[in-house]
């Protein structure tokens, strides 16, 4: 062992870094100011002048912030490929949705009134923890997917990157809150409810295809369901969980819709590809073989509060709303006509029938 004294003897003066002042004379845009507004200093407020110009195509796979001067000397390629074309990932609302995500974060530990959960009848508690088992599972994949795509987002299109980063956080909280509910009130986790197209979202190799499945159809259905959470919840804690999660899902859905809108406006030929993706994903959603055995039963049971006939009636009420809202979102995105052209899966079209 070298003694401390000896080491001290060997302590040298640290080397002084070279002083290079060339960065004091860059020709990046200068003189930019922003004033905080009602919500503070948001991304919208700094998206000015050249720094707000979103390149339609980015060649830059590095981490250089949009508008910064390129470094001197050789630079490495950071990833094998980025989605440089804005039509691949961009949404005009991404920055706004990120700002909103930051200001509307909540805590599953402290913002849910867990003490309002009284003991529930055994059948209801079982149905609720079954539903939550399926939901924590779905949310788990919903967090993996944006994580997977992050390295492929061009730094020039950072708004989409930031949005996806906020989604990773939101989905962590959803995975967490449904696990918490399952373990909070006497029940536990029950039957896995995999399938239902989760893998198709994960394995998609095109961002817009992925986003149509995840953000528009998948999370759209989830959001419509959560918004009707009052029908499922048995106490204030559960109501709050669904309400807060629905708020988060609205942002995720809004990103998907505005991204698709941006893509279709700039690349109309993409429409048919998205139709195909939705054909496939709708089919998976209603495929009895893919059905999640716990989810449907528990959901119907909870909706009817144990009365299965009433539960079915309300299930179709929920499904009808899901389909209507889905079609509306596609309209807004500029992908209309699935119902009229007979392209919407018959099992979903059938849900629109009032009876």
Partner 1 sequence: MPESDVVKAAKERLEQSGLPSDWLDIPVHWGVKAKEQATPENGGLRFEYLNVDVYGEVPEHWDNNTEIPRGAVPDTRTEQMGYSIFDKAEVWSDLCAGLYEDAIAERWNSSADIPWDTLEPIGSDMERAVCQIATLMSEYGWTKAQTTGRWLQEISYGYIEVKLFLGTVVFDAARLYEVWRKRALSNGGGLGRGGRNWKFLPLTQSYTFSEFCVASIMHDSMLLALLRHGEQLAQTEAERSIYELCQKDIERHLAYFVDHMRYLMLKEPVRREEIHRYMNKAEWYLAKDGDDTLYSALGVIMGDGREGAEEAMADVAELRREQIETYLGYLTECHLGDREDRLNEELRKWAGIAPEEEVEKIPV
Cα separations in angstroms, 331 against 284, 335, 342 = 22, 5, 15
Instruction: Output the smallest distance, CB 169 to partner 1, in A.
Output: 4
Tell whether residue 174 is a contact of Fe ion (CB under 5 A): yes
Residue closer to partner 1 by CB (options 140, 280) is: 140
> Which of the listed partners (partner 1, Fe ion, none) does 121 bind, with a CB threshold of 5 to 8 Å by partner kind?
partner 1
Tell whether residue 219 is a contact of Fe ion (CB under 5 A): yes
From 345, 346, 341, 333, select the one nearest 282 (Cα to Cα).
345
> Which of the listed partners (Fe ion, partner 1, none) does 316 bind, with a CB threshold of 5 to 8 Å by partner kind?
none
Q: Hey, which residues does 153 pair with through a beta bridge?
A: 83
> Which of the listed partners (partner 1, Fe ion, none) does 344 bind, with a CB threshold of 5 to 8 Å by partner kind?
none
> Which of the listed partners (Fe ion, partner 1, none) does 252 bind, with a CB threshold of 5 to 8 Å by partner kind?
Fe ion
Q: What are the structure tokens assigned to 278, written together? A: 């939705």
From 164, 159, 167, 137, select the one nearest 149 (Cα to Cα).
164
Q: Which residue has the tokens 């989409």?
A: 160
Instruction: Output the smallest distance, CB 252 to partner 1, in A.
Output: 14
Residue closer to partner 1 by CB (options 54, 183) is: 183
From 225, 119, 137, select the one nearest 178 (Cα to Cα).
137
Secondary structure of residue 126 in the 3-state scheme = helix
| Alpha carbon distance 291, 225 (integer Å) | 17
Tell whether residue 345 is a contact of Fe ion (CB under 5 A): no
Instruction: Output the smallest distance, CB 187 to partner 1, in A.
Output: 6
Instruction: Output the smallest distance, CB 328 to partner 1, in A.
Output: 29
Q: What are the structure tokens assigned to 26, written together? A: 């860059």
Q: Which window, 82-90, 168-176, 301-309, 318-326, contacts Fe ion (CB under 5 A)?
A: 168-176
Q: What are the structure tokens assigned to 88, written together? A: 């691949």
Number of residues located near Fe ion, criterion CB under 5 A: 7
Residue closer to partner 1 by CB (options 199, 328) is: 199
Q: Which residue has the tokens 């999640």?
A: 292
Residue closer to Fe ion by CB (options 138, 154) is: 138
Q: Which residue has the tokens 């919407």?
A: 344
Residue closer to partner 1 by CB (options 195, 334) is: 195
Residue closer to partner 1 by CB (options 29, 230) is: 29
Residues ≥6 apart with Cβ < 8 Å to 92: 258, 262
Residue closer to partner 1 by CB (options 76, 342) is: 76
Q: What is the separation of C-alpha 56 from the centre of its chain, rounded to a whole number of angstroms? A: 23
> Which of the listed partners (partner 1, Fe ion, none) does 326 bind, with a CB threshold of 5 to 8 Å by partner kind?
none
Tell whether residue 99 is a contact of Fe ion (CB under 5 A): no
Contact 210, 201 (CB under 8 A): yes
From 159, 151, 157, 166, select the one nearest 101 (Cα to Cα).
166
CA 186, 190, 196, 198 dihedral sign is positive
> Which of the listed partners (partner 1, Fe ion, none) does 293 bind, with a CB threshold of 5 to 8 Å by partner kind?
partner 1
Residue closer to partner 1 by CB (options 165, 271) is: 165
Among 88, 99, 137, 139, binds Fe ion (CB under 5 A): 139
Tell whether residue 100 is a contact of Fe ion (CB under 5 A): no
Instruction: Output the smallest distance, CB 194 to partner 1, in A.
Output: 3
> Which of the listed partners (partner 1, Fe ion, none) does 219 bind, with a CB threshold of 5 to 8 Å by partner kind?
Fe ion
From 142, 214, 231, 213, select the one nearest 178 (Cα to Cα).
142
Give the residues lining the site for Fe ion (CB under 5 A): 139, 142, 171, 174, 219, 249, 252
């Amino acid at each position: 062992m070298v003694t401390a004294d000896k080491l001290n003897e060997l302590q040298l003066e640290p080397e002084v870094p070279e002083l290079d002042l060339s960065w004091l004379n860059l020709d990046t845009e200068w003189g930019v100011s922003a004033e905080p507004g009602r919500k503070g200093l948001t991304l919208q407020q700094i998206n000015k002048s050249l720094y707000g110009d979103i390149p339609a195509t980015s060649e830059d796979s590095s981490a250089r912030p949009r508008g910064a001067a390129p470094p001197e000397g050789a630079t490495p390629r950071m990833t094998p490929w980025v989605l440089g074309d804005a039509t691949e990932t961009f949404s005009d609302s991404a920055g706004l949705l990120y700002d909103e995500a930051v200001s509307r974060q909540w805590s599953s530990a402290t913002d849910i009134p867990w003490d309002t959960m009284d003991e529930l009848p055994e059948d209801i508690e079982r149905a609720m923890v079954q539903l939550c088992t399926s939901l924590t599972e779905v949310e788990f994949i919903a967090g993996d997917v944006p994580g997977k795509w992050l390295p492929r987002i061009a730094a020039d299109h950072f708004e989409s990157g930031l949005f996806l980063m906020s989604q990773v956080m939101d989905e962590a909280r959803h995975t967490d809150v449904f696990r918490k509910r399952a373990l909070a009130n006497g029940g536990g986790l029950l039957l896995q409810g995999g399938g239902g197209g989760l893998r198709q979202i994960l394995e998609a190799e095109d961002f817009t295809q992925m986003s149509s499945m995840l953000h528009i159809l998948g999370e759209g259905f989830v959001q419509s369901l959560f918004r009707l959470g009052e029908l499922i919840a048995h106490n204030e804690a559960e109501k709050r969980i669904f309400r807060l999660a629905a708020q988060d899902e609205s942002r995720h859905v809004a990103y998907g819709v505005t991204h698709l809108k941006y893509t279709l406006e700039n690349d109309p030929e993409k429409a048919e590809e998205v139709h195909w993706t939705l054909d496939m994903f709708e089919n998976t959603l209603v495929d009895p073989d893919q059905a999640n055995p716990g989810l449907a039963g528990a959901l119907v049971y909870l909706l009817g509060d144990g009365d299965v006939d009433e539960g079915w009636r309300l299930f179709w009420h929920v499904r009808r709303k899901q389909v209507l809202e889905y079609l509306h979102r596609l309209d807004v995105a500029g992908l209309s006509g699935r119902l009229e052209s007979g392209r919407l899966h018959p099992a979903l079209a059938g849900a629109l029938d009032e009876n």
